[in-house]
Structure 1
Amino acid sequence: MRLFSFLLICSTLCACQDESIDYQKPSGVDFQDEMRDFVIEISEYAKAQKSGFSVIPQNGIELVTTNAEESGQAHNEYLEAIDGHGQEDLFFGYDKDDQKTSSSDSQYLMSFLKLSQSLGNTILVTDYCNTPVKMDESYTINQSHDFVSYAAPDRELNIIADYPVNLHNENDQHVSSLSQVQNFLYLINPDKFTDKESFIKEITATNYDLLIMDLFLNDGITFTAADVERLRVKQNGGSRMVICYMSIGEAEDYRYYWKREWNNFKPSWVAVENPDWPGNFKVEFWNQEWKNIIYGHENAYLDKILQADFDGVYLDIIDAFEFFDNL
């Protein structure tokens, strides 16, 4: 299998060498199957709670085939459990932001994305570019493949792009399913907003069909069902979907579930810190203790998302299986 995170994994292992000396690669674990099973479990649980709830994994697209190879057969159970795929850096940003992704890397990713798309899943592409001509190119290329895209000017995902001035594929339609989405906004870092009201006002002044956001404001305040209902209204009177971001391959020490004692004595299922994103730790995502944090009871992360009446969940760090495969 071609592993796109190889360089990142190497840097992670080097940067965390002292921390990972005592961490041994678990034996007898099929990391690819465990991640597929985790996503399927999340999907089955969430859809049982809310009809029409969308489940969208980001990256780790190789899991759509049974052997995670381009030549592999479709993994039908996994593909049937999800409603779309998020893919970063497909045409811009893979090696460097605002730089075109190599055609070989794009074609490799597209071989999996097209398989998922052919079976009815919506493809959401986030390209990282900030030069207008490159942003235009990103939108044009993605549209030629019937992918819905967002040209993100900052990888921090903390601002609303001010280009193009006229929103790509802007419309006043009522959007209630992924198949109707023609554009989207990816804004999961609300640190530039002083309060929920300012965040809501800025979003409702836009006409994006889909918003991908965080459950929490930067001060730890949770967005409520009433907030989400307001966020669904586009400026032109149409309606949008509101999807919530959730990482399932890394634990984040700024989340409500992180226990103070873990700063000194981490659970055995916490592996190493991601050097590119301080405070984010690779986890043994197949571990039941971690799964209990993610879903299954009132205080679980996914359950909080469901309580806030989001229209779906955007699952990140799906490609964590690559980290463990390469230990």
Structure 2
Amino acid sequence: MKKIILLISFIMMGVNLLGIDEKAEMKKLILKIRDRSPENFIMISQNGTDIFFQEKDKVDKELLGAIDGITQESLFYGYPKYGSRTPYEDKRSLLKKLRILKSLNKVVMTVNYTNSSYGRWRSRGLAEDDEFLNYCPNEREAAGILEDVCFENKNNIMSLSQAKNFLYLLNPMNFKYKKEYIDALSQTKYDVIIIDMYFNDIKLTMKDIEKLREKPQGGKRLVIGYFSIGEAEDYRGYWKEGWDRKLPNWISHENENWKGNYIVRYWSKEWGKIVNEMLSKFIDTGFDGVFLDTIDTYESFEKEE
């Protein structure tokens, strides 16, 4: 009986005792998403830049080959709090690695959290120095639309490498109706729009995506869907009644920084099934690609260890 109790205790403590390499498992998940996607389907990762590196500064070329772009939040502004200038010691290592990835022909995008005119101007200038794309949301929730578009152009954008700018809008809370939301987005002049697949609980349609793909000044753009692959969100359709009271064993715990977001054991079969179903929806709705957020979840497990 004591042996059984001890075994159960080990399981409750976490799968790390069974030899799970969380970083390697996240890499596997990203590669599976690539394998299940159409040939020209765009994949952009956010944060977790270390996952593209092995010992020292050696690049994981297999994983990098699966990704079209890398996004880093708060590289210049927004850490440790919204509006603050990111300390040099916190961005130094990140900047070095992002420059390496840029040199390997990957698009690097920065999301800096500041609404001051100087902060936006400074973020833009620092990003341009390294030929990074830059966007500054009006708030931490990335709910507003910044009207000032850098390097506006009429060209057709058929690949991420052709983009000169991007819009990062993850929360449509400032809009009352879906039509209002789609109309506002369609009038923006960005080359790339990164948005959620849903307006509140209403899923966007292929017709919506086709409308958003047309730039008002002429030319086509890319419409990319937000896809959290390291955390489950309690407002998604896959969230089942009762999980609020008792989490399934493949969900670890709630993210203390984002209410309603739960860190998952993303190597589990249950989560893999949800990821596959969500990916199919992005493809069937006509999105040009997916924006993979929370890939840095593996760091949470490493800290626990």
TM-score bracket for the superposition, by shorter chain length: over 0.9
Distance 2:215 2:262 in 1: 36
Q: Which of 236, 248, 261 is the matching residue for 1:267? A: 248
Within-5 A mapping of 1:123-202: 123-162=108-147, 164=148, 167-202=149-184
Hey, what does 1:43 align to over in structure 2? Answer: 34
Distance 1:113 1:291 in 2: 29
Q: Which of 48, 51, 70 is the matching residue for 1:85? A: 70
| Letter paired with 1:320 | T
Unmatched 5+ stretches in structure 2: 1-10
> What SS does the corresponding residue of 1:261 show, helix, strand or coil?
coil
Task: State whether structure 2 residue 31 is matched by structure 1 residue 31.
Answer: no
Structure-2 change in CA distance of 1:227 and 1:281 (3 Å): same
Q: Which of 280, 287, 295 is the matching residue for 1:303? A: 280
Hey, what does 2:290 align to over in structure 1? Answer: 313
| Letter paired with 1:77 | E
Query: What are the superposed Cα offsets for residues 150-174 of structure 1, whole Å, 9 maximum, x if unpaired?
Result: 0112110111024x4xx21111111
| Letter paired with 1:61 | T
Query: What are the superposed Cα offsets for residues 63-94 of structure 1, whole Å, 9 maximum, x if unpaired?
Result: 11124xxx231101100111110110011112
| Letter paired with 2:93 | Y
Query: What are the superposed Cα offsets for residues 306-325 of structure 1, whole Å, 9 maximum, x if unpaired?
Result: 11110110011111001101
Contact 1:64 1:112 (C-alpha < 8 Å) held by counterparts: no
Q: 1:289: Cα distance to partner?
A: 1.0
> What SS does the corresponding residue of 1:110 show, helix, strand or coil?
helix
> What SS does the corresponding residue of 2:236 show, helix, strand or coil?
coil
Contact 1:25 1:324 (C-alpha < 8 Å) held by counterparts: no
Contact 2:137 2:143 (C-alpha < 8 Å) held by counterparts: no
| Letter paired with 2:35 | E
Identity of aligned residues (%): 37
Moved over 6 A (4+): none
Hey, what does 2:51 align to over in structure 1? Answer: 63
Distance 1:105 1:25 in 2: 30
Task: State whether structure 2 residue 269 is matched by structure 1 residue 280.
Answer: no
Contact 1:212 1:244 (C-alpha < 8 Å) held by counterparts: yes
Unmatched 5+ stretches in structure 1: 1-21
Q: How does the TM-score come out when normalised to structure 2? A: 0.93
Distance 1:110 1:52 in 2: 28
Distance 2:152 2:12 in 1: 49
> What SS does the corresponding residue of 1:271 show, helix, strand or coil?
strand
Q: 1:23: Cα distance to partner?
A: 4.6
Question: What value does the CA root-mean-square deviation take over the aligned residues?
Answer: 1.4
> What SS does the corresponding residue of 1:267 show, helix, strand or coil?
coil
Q: Which of 272, 281, 301 is the matching residue for 1:291? A: 272
Q: 1:121: Cα distance to partner?
A: 1.1
| Letter paired with 2:289 | G
> What SS does the corresponding residue of 2:150 show, helix, strand or coil?
coil
Task: State whether structure 2 residue 203 is matched by structure 1 residue 222.
Answer: yes
Distance 1:33 1:284 in 2: 13
> What SS does the corresponding residue of 2:135 show, helix, strand or coil?
strand
